[in-house]
Amino acid sequence: MKLITWNIQWGRGIDGRVDLERIVRTAREIADFDVICMQEIADNFPGLAGNDDGDQFETLARLLPGYRRIEGFGVDLAGDGARRRRFGNVIFTRYGVLSVRRHALPWPADPGKETMPRVAIEATLQAPMGALRVTTTHLEYYSDIQRRAQAQRLCQLHDEACLRALHPGRATSEGGPFDTTPQTTHALLVGDFNFPPDNPAYGDIQQSLAAEVPAYRDAWPLVHRNRPHAATFCVHSQEYSRSPYCCDFAFVSSDIAQRARGLQVDAQTQASDHQPMLLELDDR
Q: How far apart are CA 89 and CA 92, in angstroms?
A: 10
Q: State the pLDDT at residue 240.
A: 73
pTM recorded for the entire structure: 0.97
Q: How far apart are CA 137 and CA 139, in angstroms?
A: 6
- pLDDT tens track for 134-154: 999 999 999 999 999 999 999
Q: State the pLDDT at residue 241.
A: 64
Where in the sequence is the domain holding 107, given as residue range(s)? 2-171+179-281
Neighbouring C-beta atoms of residue 54, cutoff 10 Å: 17
Query: Can you give the CATH number for the domain in which 98 is found?
Result: 3.60.10.10
- pLDDT tens track for 42-78: 999 999 999 999 999 999 999 999 999 999 999 999 9
The residue among 13, 56, 38 whose CA lies nearest residue 268 is 13
Q: How many CA atoms lie within 13 A of 130 on its CB side?
A: 7
For the chain, the domain total comes to 1
Q: Is 262 left (phi over 0), alpha (psi -120 to 50) or beta?
A: beta
Residue ranges for the chain with pLDDT beneath 50: none
